[in-house]
Structure 1
Amino acid sequence: MDKFAFHPFLIAIFPIIFLFAYNADKVEMSVVLVPIAISLVFTILLFFCLKIILKDDKKRGIIISVFLILFFSYGHLVALASILSIDKLNINKYFLLLITEVIFLFLAAFFITRTSKKLSNVTFFLNVLSIALIVMPSAEIIKYELKVKNFPEKQIITSVNKSQQSRPSDLIDTEIESIVLPDIYYIILDGYARADILEEFYQYDNSEFIEWLEKKGFYVAEKSRPNYPQTYQSLSSSLNLKYINYLADIVGKNSDDRSYFGELIENNEVQRFLKNNGYIFVTFTSAFAGTDKNPNADIYMTYKMNLNEFNNVLISTTPLGFFGGKNLQYSLHRNKILYAFDNIPTITQIKEPTFTFSHIMAPHPPFVFDSQGNEIQPDRLFTTNDAGFPGTKKEYKNNYVNQLIYSNQRTKEMIEKIIANSKNPLVIILQSDHGPAMQLEWEKPSKEAIRERTSILNAYFFSDKAQNALYENITPVNTFRIIFNLYFQADYEILEDKIYFTTWNRLNLW
């Protein structure tokens, strides 16, 4: 095992496999393929290019491994520097750490190239270490995949779906089938606060936008709240027309496994019901792993260049996330938002009835637009955190309002185009999955933070139906129950509107 230095190639893929093992419940395994391929190709090229100046394979391998370790540990060192309050000093910690790593790499390369030792023992040690580094996260991945495959949890989710939902799609008669079905747009404006919360916590009067919606024919639920405080939970509930508290009994109240939410979002009852009734299911790319791509979609609309949430986190562990890379990350995030606003109206060109689902990450952080839509380039590591926002509350407040103002403008333009170009009856749902999080600390939420987080925009447009079934405190769990009853003569019971809260890492709802 000391004859050939294969450790650089394993070290090159270790951070990717480790990151996936830690997030296997949130993303599909396919997300690692491109990063692994890029990392391996880069390492192979580096290994053979260095041969021009350094013939010794063992020395060359050790230098490359040192480089890779420094490269993938950079983001973690920055985080450590923040914990140690180095950023309070009047220095650029990003540049200082980069220079420190470069100096260390050159010193290591100098001593490695100058030594007369054959380094067989070092090569043997690094080969064994690299194998161990790959085996440990791989074992966790295999363990997780076997659990998901063989244990009954997901089967229980499927059976609960079947047992709890009536099947109105199986009951539709020829009279209903002859009706011109509406195009349905379910548009999630992530983290969009209710008007009274904007007034109270952000000192922003959003009445102009609300009145505009009402003049267009929207019903705006003035006292609407989400059923759950997190995107995964909220969309799992609204897209399946039910409360999801039963998951805590299945996976445990202290579980942080989000794969079950992903299963519910991907194989949701709404798209199943509508596809069974001849609908084309359209989804748009998002900046959130749980909604970025649904394999059940008939049409997947995506920006030409796409970085998913996994790739963003991976980049953030390297110097790329702090220098040129972070600009790319923020730019792609910005373009995903614009892509959705620009292209949702194009769905009106499809003749068949369509169900369009788009999760737009605005006005949710990161804040990449000012109130006029001009680009903002945050000078920090890319993150989509709202609770745990890396800036100050004042920065959150000001930038949130500005991004909301621009989101209002783009939403108006989008709605105008949809209404003007639609040939079929229309249902448009503008809804937030949860409120903002300027004050929220997940493990110690204050009453004010909970109230801020659990108040949402919730607006409905029916082009050819009365809005009598809607009411001011409707919650998302009843959204499609009402729509399916109204348009498909289904017989869904309208559930009691309840709001549950949970911390970030636990399903213990209260």
Structure 2
Amino acid sequence: MRPQDDHWLLLRSLLAAAILSTLALLDFYAGNITALAGPSRVLHYAAGTLAITAMLAAGLKILLRRLPLWRILLATGLMMFVFFAYDIDLIQRELKAHLGQLAPLAWVLVTLGSLIVTLGTIRNRAAVSIALVLSAAFAAPSIARIATFTMRGSPAHATASDTSGTRERFAPSPNIYWIVLDGYPRQDVLAEDFNFDNGDFIQSLRGLDFAVLGKSRSNFPATVNSISSTAGLDYSVEGEGEALRPLPLQEMQARVRGKNGTVARLKAAGYTYVHFENGYDYLTECAPDEPRCVRGHLGLDELDIAILSNTPIIDLIVQHRQSTPFAWGGVDDLNAKLGTIRAMPAPFFLYAHVLAPHPPIRFRSDCSFRPADPDLQLWRPEARPAFIEQLTCVNSQTLALLHEITRADPGALIVLQSDHGTAFRGQFQKPATAWTDEDLHERFGALNAMRLPGPCRAMAADDLTLVDTFPLVLSCLSGAAFEPHHPRFFVTPYDSNTDFGRAIEYPSERVR
């Protein structure tokens, strides 16, 4: 064979190995492109995967000098492809059904076996062309989806981040703490659905001068919709009737990360915006241009876990650790950073979104670590008792946090609320149009407690919905009349649902 043929064979095998080893990451990005802020972190994983593949191939070539490099490249590419296939439902379900906790270790052995078999059996050079064609065929749908999304682009919407114009000053200018406990249910929901009396916690809040709104409701059942609506001072939807839809995800993410009407108005009044980055849920990340970013416990976050769950790595970590490398998002993470937050220029507005008590169920009632599958959508009905244990931990940590804030900052204006309730009835496995009144009650009944200046307490009606949180706060500080929205409630399906991209409005009388 001519030297140029050898070079062409090597190039094709190199390309096939590169595609095979990164195909799962390409599929991941294509499948989540509407939810991700950009490709940079997925590209970092792809670069790391290619580097590992190259190092494995180089090591094998040193050990197996007689084997041609094209066979080694093809074998390592196929091995990485198999390694990333662990998350295929059928494979994982069967492995765990028959092997239990040995499933991830068994898949590591399968991966090594695929390498050995490929090295020992593939001898025909035509295998390189076949592997290249098949890998390109597998990659083509994802490439097409990414190209279509890129060419289409995202509709341009103005975000309320402009702080130019008339500046205002509030007579009272207290530091404002907006603390969101993700998925924390309202007191009556806890009593009805969990047979849990949360009265001690509620009474403790009242003892700290909070008004606890016993009939408050979220306006959306999903975090990005709810938070962007609350921070944006209005419902994050557009259109009407069958054309009703949530705002583009990128716009809502920008609002969550500080490009919103509340922050703009407070900055214009001389406030410093401080963003607390929870760590685990990538939605809580600081904006890249956010100078006042306070980071909680660092570790693997939701995006890391979503990618690594394609491999046995996450299962191996969870099974063999009693502590965790994940940034789980406990309230203590925020408490530990209060000194840093208080050092910010005053007055400041803090947005601190804590991923608790939302699943995964990773804390016992004494706040010790419980090994857990790091999945944000595991609302298993049988986990209700464990959820209450986690909520008990959250209660104790939250009260410690609030005592510390009010001790060091007695004039603080504090908003403690959830973004939505729980989903143990399997709401997101149902069509968005088929939610029952009980489904709505569980998911929309939200914790909402406000520590306001005395003259403003009467403005906090017991049935205030979350969208009116900051219209009330801003009216309180400015002295302007508070005009609440007409209450509206929307179910916004996740991207795994066939109705994704729609917003289904439910009448307010159905959401109690």
TM-score (norm 1): 0.85
Distance 2:108 2:325 in 1: 27
Deviating more after overlay: 47-56 vs 495-504: 495-504
Residue 194 of structure 2 is matched in structure 1 by: 202
State the Cα deviation string for residues 387-428 of structure 1 (Å, max 9, x = none): xx3x4x23x2111111111111111111111111127x3111
Give the Cα separation in 2 of the matches to 1:221 and 1:254: 29
Alignment map for 1:31-180 (pairs within 5 Å): 31-55=41-65, 56-76=68-88, 79-81=89-91, 91-93=98-100, 95-96=102-103, 98-99=105-106, 102-103=109-110, 105-106=112-113, 109-110=116-117, 112-113=119-120, 117=123, 119-134=124-139, 136-149=141-154, 153-155=155-157, 157-158=158-159, 170-173=165-168, 176=169, 179=171
Name structure 1 gaps, 5 residues minimum. none
Structure 2 SS opposite 1:26:
coil
Secondary structure of 2:232's counterpart equals: coil
Structure 2 length-normalised TM = 0.85
Q: Percent identity?
A: 23
1:20 and 1:492, CA in 2 relative to 1: closer, same or farther beyond 3 A? Answer: farther
Deviations, residues 202-244 of structure 1 (Å, cap 9, x unaligned): 1111111101111110000011111111111111110111112
- Distance of 2:246 and 2:131 partners within structure 1: 36
Matched, 1:410 2:410: no
Separation (CA, whole Å) in 2 of partners of 1:331 and 1:59: 37
**Separation in 2, partners of 1:128, 1:198:** 56
Select the residue among 472, 477, 498 that pairs with 2:462: 472
Aligned pair count? Answer: 481
Matches within 5 A, 1:350-499: 350-378=344-372, 381-386=373-378, 389=379, 391=380, 393-394=381-382, 396-422=383-409, 425-442=411-428, 443=430, 444-463=434-453, 465-490=455-480, 493-499=483-489
Query: Would you say the 8 A contact 1:168–1:490 is kept in 2?
Result: no
- The answer to whether 1:307 aligns with 2:262 is no
Over 3 Å counting, the alpha-carbon distance change for 1:490 and 1:297 in structure 2 is farther
C-alpha displacement of 1:342: 2.4
Separation (CA, whole Å) in 2 of partners of 1:438 and 1:451:
12
Equivalent in the alignment of 1:258: 249
Structure 1 residue 451, shift from structure 2 partner: 0.9
Q: One-letter code of the match for 2:188?
A: D
Cα distance in 2 for residues equivalent to 1:8 and 1:181: 60
Measured in 1, the distance between the counterparts of 2:486 and 2:406 equals: 32
User: Where does 1:233-272 land on structure 2 (aligned, <5 Å)?
Assistant: 233-246=225-238, 252-253=243-244, 258-266=249-257, 267-272=259-264
Task: Tell me the C-alpha RMSD between the 2 structures.
Answer: 2.9
Of 222, 231, 234, 1:230 maps to 222
Gap change, CA 1:185 and 1:103, over 3 Å in 2: closer
1:355-389 CA deviation, whole Å, 9 max, x = no partner? 111111111100111111111012xx421114xx3
Deviation at 1:246, TM superposition (A): 1.2
- Counterpart CA distance in 2 for 1:282 and 1:327 is 37
After superposing the two structures, state which structure 1 stretch, 340-349 or 402-411, moved more: 340-349
Task: Choose 484-493 or 97-106, whichever is displaced more.
Answer: 97-106
Structure-2 separation of matches of 1:310 and 1:102: 26
Is 2:508 the counterpart of 1:509?
A: no
Contact kept, 8 Å, 1:271 with 1:281, in 2: the verdict is yes
Q: For residues 145 and 487 of structure 1, what CA distance do their matches in structure 2 show?
A: 43
- Per mean C-alpha deviation after superposition, the further-off stretch among 357-366 and 7-16 is 7-16
Task: Give the Cα–Cα distance (whole angstroms) in 1 for the partners of residues 10 and 115 of structure 2.
Answer: 21
Q: 1:271–1:207: structure 2 CA closer, same or farther, 3 Å change rule? A: same
Cα 1:337–1:80 shift into 2, 3 Å: farther
Instruction: Report the Cα distance in structure 2 between the residues aligned to 1:256 and 1:87, rounded to whole angstroms.
Output: 39
Please say if residues 184 and 356 of structure 2, whose CA atoms lie closer than 8 Å, have aligned partners that are also in contact.
yes
Give the letter for the 2:391 counterpart.
L
